[in-house]
Amino acid sequence: MFPADKSEPTKLIQSVQRALRIMELVGRHADGVSAPRIAFECGLNRATAYNLLRTLVYERYLRRDEEGRYSLGLEVSDRYSELTRAMAGPSTCGDYMRRMSGETGYSTFVARFVEGRPAVTDVIEGNKSPHVEELIVGFDDGAHATALGKALLATLQPMDRARFLRAAGMRKFTGHTLTEPDAFEYDLAVYGESGVYAEIGQFKDGVACAGVVVREDGNPSDRIVFAVAMPLEHMSRSWSILTEQLRVAAAELQPLLH
């Protein structure tokens, strides 16, 4: 754990500090506390104290009873519930995907081998990612052109991978799609060094996607990958951050996937 930085920043907002001191004081009095006492213990004049108390009651962070005593309000309970959920972390893969899509704005995907073919099994759309109509649950085409497909195919032995590509074909989706097995093998080798597989405009013009293997052991049907999609121009400027996010995602998703 990093040591806390106790140095005081510049340009602090005093009214916020005063409101927080009031919250801390009220929180120590389970039976409530009067406005005059709050003003005295917080070192505030009564007019300032009443203005802050009125605001905190309106925002539901404090409540005032019939005797004029103040106690913590329901909003404090709501914030505490949110904090405990955040600290506990997501409980399902869907929760994790929604959280990551919400934080990054990028669409997130999970894929597995279904009847021997890489297939999308879960999708959460992000507001910064272009909508790709084909990438929906059940999509099992173009494995050579998607990051999901590349990551899953990378878990196969070279002979099994070559057999799959011969049977499935290497359709050209865009001018950047890899359509030769040797070029595809080289692509996997390059991305395999980092463990994060990418396609840059190979499946759909203007869209990039990066994926990581979450589970590699066992039968192919047990293997799982996780990926994000984004506008093409976002890939180059955020690649280092994205690769780290995906590695963290692989570790955090592992216990959530069955």
What is the predicted pLDDT for the residue at 82? 61
What tokens were used for 104? Answer: 């990054």
List the chain domain ranges: 14-79, 89-256
* Best CA proximity match to 139, nearest among 8, 229, 22: 229
Q: Which runs of E-coded beta strand occur in 9-95?
A: 33-34, 62-64, 69-72
What is the predicted pLDDT for the residue at 125? 92
Is 95 exposed, middle or buried (CB count within 10 Å of its CB: 0-12, 13-18, 19+)? middle
CATH topology of domain 89-256: Beta-Lactamase (3.30.450)
pLDDT tens digits along 13-38 = 888 999 999 999 999 998 899 999 99
In whole angstroms, give the CA distance from residue 222 to residue 144: 20
pTM for the structure as a whole: 0.65
Three-state secondary structure call for residue 72: strand
Q: Helices marked H in 71-133 — which ranges?
A: 74-88, 93-104
pLDDT tens digits along 101-122 = 988 899 999 999 998 999 999 9
CATH node for 14-79: 1.10.10.10
